[in-house]
Amino acid sequence: AYRKGGYHAVRIGDPFSGGRYIAQRKLGWGQFSTVWLAYDTRTSNYVALKIQKSAQQFAQAALHEIEFLSAAADGDLANAKCVVRLIDHFKHAGPNGQHLCMVLEFLGDSLLRLIRYNRYKGLKLDKVREICRCILTGLDYLHRELGMIHSDLKPENILLCSTIDPAKDPVRSGLTPLLEKPEGNANGGGGVSTMNLIEKKLKRRAKRAVAKISERRSSMVGTLGEEASSKTERSLDGIDMRCKVVDFGNACWADKQFAEEIQTRQYRAPEVVLKSGYSFSVDMWSFGCTAFELVTGDMLFAPKEGNGYGEDEDHLALMMELLGKMPRKIAIGGARSKDYFDRHGDLKRIRRLKYWPLDRLLIDRYKLPEAEAKEFAEFLSPILEFAPEKRPTAQQCLEHPWMNVSTQNNADNVGSQMRNLQIKG
């Protein structure tokens, strides 16, 4: 895809935006872009540089993403709302065309990698709570303050806040800084001759760095250390579970929707499958699926096409096996309902459902202690309501007792400590 209209090929040490940003190392890629760790010579910080493919439709998509990221940044000057921060954007001309580039704050590994790193065993509930608090803070902000629907929430699109400074921890981050400060000009701009000098120096350093980095190709980006390979137990102790919502390529305004089919399959809400219209609560559904996955290590719904039925119908069947029968009015109310449901509200092709309610699933399959399972199921069940308007908002979820269990425990601890003191006194 490194051709006209496609990705921009980047060499380590390449300068961007008049020399302000220096490419350091590839962080990842998607359908639309490659993402690079870059050094910001103006602020002496590391940033993530997302370089979009150049063809018209990708440029359009980048402008769309920039619109939503800018809105999110403008309303959150303190950068405290758990949404990735857009720092800058610009155009970059290359052999494959003009590429829109987004400069984002540098974050760490995705929750998908965290789940994988943890060998799909599921995280401790207090870790899940910390993560949920961040996601909900982000969603509450997007929904209530901005009127924005993310519409592609999933573990891959939630990144941990990196606790590693790539400059200070070259072993774990697999790189040595390529440029401390461009000499002669602290702003990184300057005259042509200075630029040429810097570029020459960078190219030399880059060659050396490429060799070093390829030796460490398997090391991880930011937070988690090496890729999981051996069977040893992994501890998440000491890993900060703060995270942020990223990837606004599919975001939309609640009052200005354009796409009918939104969300990644496994995290897609029933009203999207049935095409009954949607709102903020589709993000809540995806959040519920994500929370379950964090606790168990398994996707909540992984629909598959089967003999005589499609992925959509399997998806609806899986939902009902977990959550009970879909109320008839909802089942028959969508533009696609007739494809899957008869007029009684029963699935046309999948007739026999095996009900397995959420709390039993957590206890029987995932071996959660009964009390913990029940509490978590009480938190999760309303979020997975078939009726979108009955789902709690992100704000309501933040206030739910389950979200505040740890503070309650702390209060208990404080209470018992005080009793101990009184006894001693």
Binding positions for ligand ATP, rule: CB under 6 A: 27-33, 35, 48, 50, 84, 104-107, 110, 159, 246-247, 249
Least Å distance, CB 354 to Mg ion, is 34
Q: Decide whether 30 or 94 has the Cβ nearer to ligand ATP.
A: 30
Least Å distance, CB 62 to ligand ATP, is 9
Joined tokens for residue 300: 């909540």
Separation CA 152–CA 265 (nearest Å): 10
Least Å distance, CB 211 to ligand ATP, is 23
Separation CA 40–CA 12 (nearest Å): 14
Q: Which range of residues in 25-33, 128-136, 291-299, 384-392 is near Mg ion by CB under 5 A? A: 25-33
In the annotated binding site, the residues are 50
The single residue among 155, 249, 270, 388 that binds Mg ion, judged by CB under 5 A, is 249
Q: Which range of residues in 240-248, 286-294, 371-379, 401-409 is near Mg ion by CB under 5 A? A: 240-248
Known active-site residue 152: yes
Joined tokens for residue 80: 């405290």
Burial class (CB in 10 A: 0-12, 13-18, 19+), 393: middle
Q: Is 247 in the site for Mg ion (CB under 5 A)?
A: yes
Q: Which range of residues in 23-31, 166-174, 208-216, 280-288 is near Mg ion by CB under 5 A? A: 23-31
- Which of Mg ion, ligand ATP, none does residue 106 bind (CB under 5 to 8 Å by kind)? ligand ATP
Least Å distance, CB 72 to ligand ATP, is 13
Least Å distance, CB 82 to ligand ATP, is 13
Q: Decide whether 247 or 375 has the Cβ nearer to ligand ATP.
A: 247
The backbone torsions φ and ψ at residue 135, rounded to the nearest 5 degrees and listed phi first, read -60, -45
Q: Which H or E run contains 113?
A: helix 111-117
Separation CA 383–CA 376 (nearest Å): 11
Q: Decide whether 20 or 154 has the Cβ nearer to ligand ATP.
A: 154
Q: How far is CA 239 from the centre of its chain?
A: 17
Determine which one of 140, 152, 247, 314 is catalytic. 152
CA–CA distances in Å: residue 372 to residues 259, 314, 421: 39, 29, 30
The interaxial angle of helices 370-380 and 281-296, nearest 10 deg, is 160
- Minimal CB distance residue for ligand ATP: 30
Burial class (CB in 10 A: 0-12, 13-18, 19+), 201: middle
Q: Decide whether 129 or 154 has the Cβ nearer to ligand ATP.
A: 154
Least Å distance, CB 160 to ligand ATP, is 9
Joined tokens for residue 248: 């606004």
- Which of ligand ATP, Mg ion, none does residue 25 bind (CB under 5 to 8 Å by kind)? none
Burial readout 149-182 (b: 16 or more C-beta within 10 A, e: otherwise): bbbbbbbbbbbbbbebebbeeeebbbbeebbeeb
> Could you tell me if 49 and 21 are in contact, meaning their C-beta atoms sit under 8 angstroms apart?
yes
Q: Decide whether 39 or 68 has the Cβ nearer to Mg ion.
A: 68
- Which of Mg ion, ligand ATP, none does residue 253 bind (CB under 5 to 8 Å by kind)? none
Separation CA 270–CA 242 (nearest Å): 29
Q: Which range of residues in 161-169, 247-255, 282-290, 323-331 is near Mg ion by CB under 5 A? A: 247-255
- Which of Mg ion, ligand ATP, none does residue 104 bind (CB under 5 to 8 Å by kind)? ligand ATP
Q: Tokens 């602020």 appear where?
A: 43
CB atoms within 10 A of CB 409: 11
Joined tokens for residue 143: 């929904």
Kindly give the pairing relationship between strand 21-29 and strand 33-40. Answer: antiparallel
Q: Decide whether 31 or 218 has the Cβ nearer to ligand ATP.
A: 31
- Which of Mg ion, ligand ATP, none does residue 301 bind (CB under 5 to 8 Å by kind)? none
In the annotated binding site for ATP, the residues are 50
The binding site for Mg ion (CB under 5 A) comprises: 30, 247, 249
Query: Which residue numbers are catalytic?
Result: 152
